[in-house]
Copies of this chain bind each other. A is one copy, B any other.
Amino acid sequence: MANIRKQPRPKAETPKGFRDYFGAEVAQRTKMLRAIAEVYSLYGFDALESSAVETVEALGKFLPDVDRPNEGVFAWQEDEGDWLALRYDLTAPLARVFAQHRNDLPTPYRRYAMGPVWRNEKPGPGRFRQFYQCDADTVGSASMAADAEICAMLSDTLEAVGIERGDYIVRINNRKVLNGVMEVAGVLDPSDPDRFAHERGIVLRAIDKLDRLGLDGVRSLLGEGRKDNSGDFTKGAGLSSTQADIVMGFMQAHRGTGVATVARLNELVQGSNIGQHGVSELEQIADLLEAGGYGSDRIVIDPSVVRGLGYYTGPVYEAELTFDILDDKGRKRQFGSVAGGGRYDDLVKRFTGQEVPATGISIGVDRLLAALREKGRLHSVAHGPVVVTVMDRDRMADYQAMVAELRTAGIRAEVYLGNPKNFGNQLKYADKRNSPAAIIEGGDEKAAGMVQIKDLILGAKIAQSATLEEWKERPSQFEVPRDQMLAKLREILASHAADLETGQN
C-alpha cells in the first residue's frame, strides 16, 4: 500500500446527487418492496430482473424531459464501440427484454420489476440521481381489462403498504381522448401525424404542470407563453383563444361520477374518431372497475391527468396521496403523485416492427416511504441488538457464548468489539446502537455465577421523567443467575414489545 500513501488523499464523498441509506431506512424499503411484490405476484405477475446496464440504442430517447432528448442518462462508450448506459426506468428495458425473449415468454406477459434507476439530472433537495422504482406491466394484451387490472392492483398495493383508503386516489385518463380534443381544436391532423407535433408537445407538458401552474398558467402556455416569477419566459404553443378554450374545457371535464365525466368527454370529442375510441376505452375500464367494487373513493376518471412521457398511446394512470403534509416552510400542501403509468403500444414495435400492446405502472418507492414517514406510519427509531459488554478481555470466549445463546433463541445480539478498557464507552456504544439491553459479567459476577442485565429502554425512560421514588421502585438493572439470563432478557424485551422494532428484514 506504500504507493498509495504518496498520493493525495481522496475525498470521502458520494458523487453529487447520490446518497447512502442506513439501517432502518434500508430495512423499511426492503419490507415495502416485499409487500408490493406479494400483491403483484398474487395478481399473477412474474419477477424480472434485467441488467442495470443497457445499450443506449436499446434504451431509446424516452426520458420524461423531452426538452432535452439527448440528455438525462449516464452513458459511456465501450472500448469496442457500443455506447452503454444505466437504465433510466424499468419500462424501456422491459420492451427490450420482451423483444429479445418473446419466443420463450408467455403472451400476455405479466411481469414485475423492482430496483434502482438512474437519471443524469441536476440534483435538488430530496431529488436524487438514483432512486427505486417498482413496476408491473402486461405486455401483449390490448384488452382494457389489462388496464383495469393494473389500476385495481395499484389500489390494492397502496393499501398493502399502509396507505389507508381515503388517503389516496388513482386517476385515469386516456391519451386518445386528449388527441381527439386536439383534433377538434385543430392541432392534430390524423392524415399527417407529424404536423403540429411540436405544439402538441407544449400542450401536453402544460397540462401536466396544472398542479404547479394553476389554470391561468396552463392557459398562458397554450397561447403565447408565460413569464414565471423569476422573469424567465417560456414560449407557448401559440393556440388561438378558441383552440385553447377547447383544451381547457377538456382539463375541466371531471364530473361527480365516472358516467357523467365520460358523457362530458363524449361531447368534447364529437367529430374525432380517435377521441371517441378513447372515450369508449375509458368507459370499459370504468365498468370493469365498478363491477370489481373499486368505487370513486379509490379510482376516478380525471381528464387533467396526462403524464409527461411521450410514449403513452391510450389510458394513463396516476396515483396521488391526498393527505396534507407540511413543506419546508411549514405550509400545508398535498403530498402528490407516488405512482403512474399507462398504455404504450409502440415501445416493443421499435425493436420488432410488429405492434405489441402493453400497459403498466411504476411506483416511486422512495416517495411512498417518505409519505409513510410523514404520516408517522414507519417506526423511525429501530432498536438495535442486545450488547454483551466485555469486562475482562481474556474471557472473550465466555461473552461469545452468551451472544451465541441469545442468537439461538432468535434474539439479535453482539459482543462489544471496541477497546474494552473504558466501560463508559461500551455503554455509550450500546446507546448509539439503540440497544434494548446490555449484559454485564465482570469478575465478581463470574465468581458468583451471576450476570447483570441493564434494561436500556426503561433506563432511558426513567432518566427522562421519573421521580426519585419511581426510580427506586423500578430499577432498570437486574442481577440474575447466569442460567436465567435468557429468561430474564426475554421478560425485559416482552415488556417493551410495543416499542421494539428490531430493524431486521
Contacts and interface: CB of A to CB of B under 8 A. Distances in A.
Interface of A: 1-4, 9-16, 18-23, 25-27, 29-30, 34, 37-38, 41-44, 46-55, 57-58, 60, 74-76, 78, 82, 84, 86, 96-97, 99-101, 106-108, 110, 116, 118, 129-130, 138, 140-141, 143, 145-146, 148-149, 193-194, 197, 287-288, 291-293, 310-311, 313, 346, 350-353, 384-385, 387, 396-397, 400-401, 403-404, 407, 410, 412-418, 429, 432-433, 502-505
A291 B397 contact: yes
Given A12-B99, A53-B18, A418 B58 contact: no
A143 B353 CA distance: 63
30 contacts: A4-B346, A4-B350, A10-B55, A10-B351, A11-B55, A11-B58, A12-B58, A12-B99, A13-B58, A13-B96, A14-B54, A14-B96, A20-B97, A22-B48, A23-B48, A26-B47, A30-B37, A37-B505, A38-B504, A38-B505, A41-B412, A44-B384, A44-B387, A44-B413, A47-B505, A52-B86, A52-B130, A53-B118, A143-B396, A149-B415
Contacts of A55: 10-11, 13, 15
A422 to B, nearest CB: 13
Contacts of A15: 51, 53-55, 78, 82, 84
B384 A46 contact: yes
B193 A2 contact: yes
A287 B395 CA distance: 11
Contact of A14 (B11, B42, B50, B353): B50
Contacts of A387: 44
A186 B242 CA distance: 92
Given A13-B96, A292-B401, 13 more contacts: A15-B82, A18-B51, A20-B48, A20-B101, A21-B50, A22-B101, A34-B505, A43-B412, A47-B505, A53-B86, A107-B418, A145-B396, A291-B400
Contact of A75 (B58, B76, B385): B76
A46 B385 CA distance: 9
Contacts of A106: 429, 432-433
B21 A48 contact: yes
A14 to B, nearest CB: 6
Contacts of A13: 55, 58, 96, 100
Given A60-B4, A101-B20, A404 B292 contact: yes
Nearest to A387: B44
A397 B287 contact: yes
Contact of A353 (B9, B291, B385): B9
Contact of A412 (B42, B353, B505): B42
Contact of A46 (B11, B22, B97): B22
Contacts of A143: 396, 417
Contacts of A504: 37-38, 41-42
A178 to B, nearest CB: 15
A9 B99 CA distance: 12
B400 A100 contact: no
Nearest to A406: B42
Given A13-B58, A21-B49, A108-B418, A288 B42 contact: no
Contacts of A23: 46-48
Nearest to A108: B417
A128 to B, nearest CB: 8
Contacts of A1: 310-311, 313, 346
Contact of A407 (B42, B138, B353, B502): B42
A20 B49 contact: yes
A66 to B, nearest CB: 12
Top 3 closest A-B pairs, CB basis? A44-B414, A12-B99, A291-B397
B26 A49 contact: yes
Contacts of A53: 15, 18, 74, 86, 118, 129-130
Nearest to A84: B15
B417 A146 contact: yes
Contacts of A502: 41
A407 B155 CA distance: 14
A250 B109 CA distance: 57
B14 A51 contact: yes
B75 A48 contact: no
A50 B22 CA distance: 8
A51 B47 CA distance: 23
A136 to B, nearest CB: 12
Contacts of A110: 414, 417
Given A37-B505, A46-B384, A57-B10, A20 B51 contact: yes
